Amino acid sequence: MATSKADKDLIATAKGRYELAEEAERHIRREAIIDLEFAAGQQWDPNDLNQRNAMGMGNRRPCLTFNKLTGPINQVANQARMNKPDLEVLPADLSGDVDTAEVIEGMIRQIEYASKADQVYETSLDQSTKGGFGYFKVTTRYCGNKTFNQELRIERVVNQFAILIDPYAKKADKSDMKWAFELEWIPRDEYKDQFGDTEVSKMNFFDGVTNPAPNWITKEGVLIANYWYVDIEVKTLVGIRWPDGAETSQYLEDLPEQMPPGVTFATDENGDRREREDEIRHVKMCRINGVEILDEIEWKGQWIPILATLGEEMYIENTRYLFSLIRFARDPQRLYNFYRSSEAETVMLGTKAPWVGVKGAFRDPRWATANVIPWSYLEYEPLDIAGNPVPPPQRNLAEPPIQALSIGASQASDDIKATTNVYDASLGSTSNETSGIAIQRRQGQMELSNFHFVDNLNRAILQCGAILVDLIPKIYDTAREVRILGADMTEKIVKVNQRYRDEQNIERCYDLQNGQYDVRLKIGPTFKNQQEKTESQLLELARVYPPLMQIAGDVVFDNLNFNGADKIAERLRRSMPPGLADDGADKKPAEVLAQQNQQQSQMIDQLSAALSKANDDIRGKRIEAESNERIEIMKIESSDRQAALDSDTRIQIERMKIAAADSSITAQENIAWMKAEMAALQIQVARMATGAAAESSIPPPVGPPMPPPGSEGPGMLAGAPAGPVPQGMA
């Protein structure tokens, strides 16, 4: 009950901050409600809806709704489901331990699993895409009955309008918020049962005119708020120099009045004491009803455990705006509904074209239902009210503008795609792209254009991981057994904050209070998708290289996900040679570890050798194939050359035959010519012998004797010396 001045000041501050946050987010929440109504199918303006329904039950104009916004919303949500983020814990200083970081990471994974965190994250993302903002929170609970141990959980906020946060928080994940509200409206009877005789009940503020908080307390019930706020404590941090020369830092308020001997304050380069003001965050929560404090706790973490998943955030002249995925698709969606409703209305009116005739011609009552009942015949009065003959009634027919309305509806549909950045190819419809790569690129464009919604969720999850890393040493602060989950979701029980020996007789100590740890986000395919990829790769490798099953068949079946795969792997492991299987279960841990390392090394060597042999076989087969190809080419070329050579040889032989025939003719001609020449020489010799006997007394002329004129025979050169006559030719 709020009796002290401090409590009254706290309540006054909380009520002032509540009004400030409500005013700052009034326009955001008003637009968010409209967005959610559109996502739920309530897409007609109330005034238009009333006008269309004002004509009576039988003559209402169509108000059809074709909700085309569910596709883009589901597309973004399913994108986040396919690429679930995973939190990774790393040591942040030298006091941190890698194994302890792995244990903390496994604890976070167990907290997410026990909390059904995937549903929590999907709910907040769905709220941000539909309304512009969503929330989830981190809470604690007792591990069970008869225990004081607590554990952490992640919970979803079903109604995002039940959260109000500090409008002056500037960080993208809103981790710098200094206050926030969790609101819950409790009916009057339930309030009395839950909280008993509080000041609200005793003073009967429900019905009294002296209600001090009319916005919080009404006749129907009470507004209860979990008011979170950060109390900043300022301390002076000083440097301490110890006798051994080491320097540490401590708060001045925590030091004794008299320093121990040899311990002095550290100084800077100017000789001044090294000190600074340090701010320590204390997070507190009190439950209030606008009049009194119902409950109050001090949170063990340094951040308010409320996580914000926001849409597109924008500031215009210090005014904050949040936009959902469908904010700018509301008008095209409304126009699309109008066009399609007009089409339906036009088609309906096409069968209700009015009959036109003179007054008095429609005395038959069947004319009143001629537009809805196909009467076989209708009778009309041939005379009007003046008694003059009249023609039969006729319909006032006109061509309805169906095509124009269809074009308008198609344009409105394209506007919805343009404002949501989700096109037909992303929704699975047939488009101009024919190749899978082109379709994937179109889908990738959609993912990039709307990725800021998923990225804002990842920021909230990362801040949630930081809150969990900060809280785990403070909540799990006793020696206990905890369950952790690996990346493959395998369970394991470990002991924390104590020394123990595991099943391999190795001494372990996971001290959660020692060291600083940091967290980062890993985004990618889920473990199931990675496992399926590993299975396909191993099966493909076993198909290409069958000896792999003899070398590492147990490893292959260990990675296959079907019932009995582990039993097959164990049988293969027992049937393997001693150097490959693990048969040293009763050996010492060091020997077992050494043998495992040796076996792994041998397996790696064997796999490397097998891979090298497979590469050599592939290379040899490739060389053999290339050699066979070259041999075939050489055979073809040799055959072509042989054919060409045979042709050239035949031509040369023919030419030689012709040359030989020509030579034979020439030789015969030469023989005949030589015979004629010899005959001429014989005649000349005979003449020379006869002339020498008659002219023996005449001195011989100087120089070679000249043949008598006309004595040159064929083949003889004129004036050439006769020379000696060869023997046998005289």
Query: 3-state SS of 260-294?
Result: CCCCEECECCCCCECEEEEEEEEEEEEEECCCCEE
Beta bridge partners of 226: 182, 287
Report CA dihedral (115, 120, 121, 124) to the nearest 10 degrees.
-160
Entry pTM: 0.67
* Stretches in the chain below the pLDDT threshold 50: 1-2, 57, 583-588, 590, 692-730
Who's near 345: CB < 8 A, 6+ residues apart? 61, 62
Both tokens assigned to 311: 């849409």
List Cα–Cα distances, 67 to 40, 326, 330, 340, 422, in angstroms: 8, 12, 10, 12, 15
pLDDT of amino acid 296: 93
Largest CA distance in the chain: 195
Strand-strand pairing, 163-165 and 491-496: unpaired
Sign of CA dihedral 154, 159, 164, 169: positive
Contacts of residue 484, defined as CB under 8 A and 6 or more positions apart, other chains included, come to 103, 105, 106, 107, 109, 110, 491, 492, 493, 494
DSSP 724: P
3-state secondary structure of 304: coil
Instruction: Indicate the length of the chain as a whole number.
Output: 730
β-strand pairing of 480-485 with 491-496 = antiparallel
Q: Is 519 helix (H, G, I), strand (E, B) or coil?
A: strand
In 463-568 the beta strands, taken as DSSP E runs, fall at 480-485, 491-496, 499-501, 507-509, 517-523
Residue 43 CA to residue 7 CA, distance in Å, equals 47
Number of Cα atoms under 13 Å in the Cβ half of residue 729: 17
Burial class of residue 394 (count of CB atoms within 10 Å of its CB; 0-12, 13-18, 19+): exposed
